[in-house]
């Protein structure tokens, strides 16, 4: 593309919205980090509970690895389909690359969610075992 006009312009009230969304996103990440820290600070229970939790974590990791291998094929196909759609070269490259960025972030968030969930399970079980219903929930 040889034009001097940018494809996307963000100015005025739209720029304000971008900054508001950025601020809310950073605040949400901070809250998520705080909650994650609280969850991981809880006790993991007995050795047997830790052993079972380790097996669950191993199974979850194998499941995600298999899912990601399967999805990688579809991501590659969609990447090339998006690239093949009509448009200027810049547009075709941009939409294909940003699809990959979105897929990458989605995979990252899915992995982080599973990682935390399997570690939280044993902590909830330990809280319930100790009779602490408030902490278990």
Digit-coded pLDDT (tens) for 74-133: 999 999 999 999 989 888 999 999 999 999 999 999 999 999 999 999 999 998 888 876
**Does one domain contain both 69 and 118?**
yes
**Does one domain contain both 25 and 85?**
no
**Does one domain contain both 62 and 124?**
yes
Mean of the pLDDT values across residues 29-42?
A: 94
CB 119 within 8 A of CB 53: yes
Nearest to residue 44, comparing CAs of 130, 133, 137, 134? 130
User: What is the extent of the structural domain holding 57?
Assistant: 44-136
Tell me which H or E stretch contains 6: none
- Classify residue 123 by burial, with Cβ atoms within 10 Å: 0-12, 13-18, 19+: buried
What pLDDT shows up at residue 1?
47
**Does one domain contain both 26 and 49?**
no
Residue 84 lies in a domain: yes
Q: Record the pTM.
A: 0.76
Number of domains making up the chain: 2
Residue 2 lies in a domain: no
In terms of C-beta distances under 8 Å and separation of at least 24 residues, what long-range contacts does 81-88 make, across chains too? Answer: 88/1
Mean of the pLDDT values across residues 34-53?
A: 93
Residue 1 lies in a domain: no
């Amino acid at each position: 593309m040889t034009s001097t006009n940018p494809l996307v312009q963000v100015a005025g009230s739209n720029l304000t919205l971008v900054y508001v969304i950025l601020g809310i996103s950073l605040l949400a990440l901070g809250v998520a980090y705080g909650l994650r820290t609280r969850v991981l600070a809880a006790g993991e229970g007995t050795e047997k509970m830790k052993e079972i939790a380790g097996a669950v974590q191993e199974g979850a990791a194998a499941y995600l690895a298999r899912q990601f291998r399967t999805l990688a094929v579809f991501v590659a196909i969609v990447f090339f389909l998006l690239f093949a759609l009509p448009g200027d070269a810049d547009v075709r490259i941009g939409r294909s690359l940003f699809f990959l960025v979105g897929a990458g972030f989605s995979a990252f968030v899915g992995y982080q969610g599973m990682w935390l969930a399997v570690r939280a399970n044993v902590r909830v079980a330990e809280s319930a075992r100790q009779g602490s219903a408030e902490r278990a929930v």
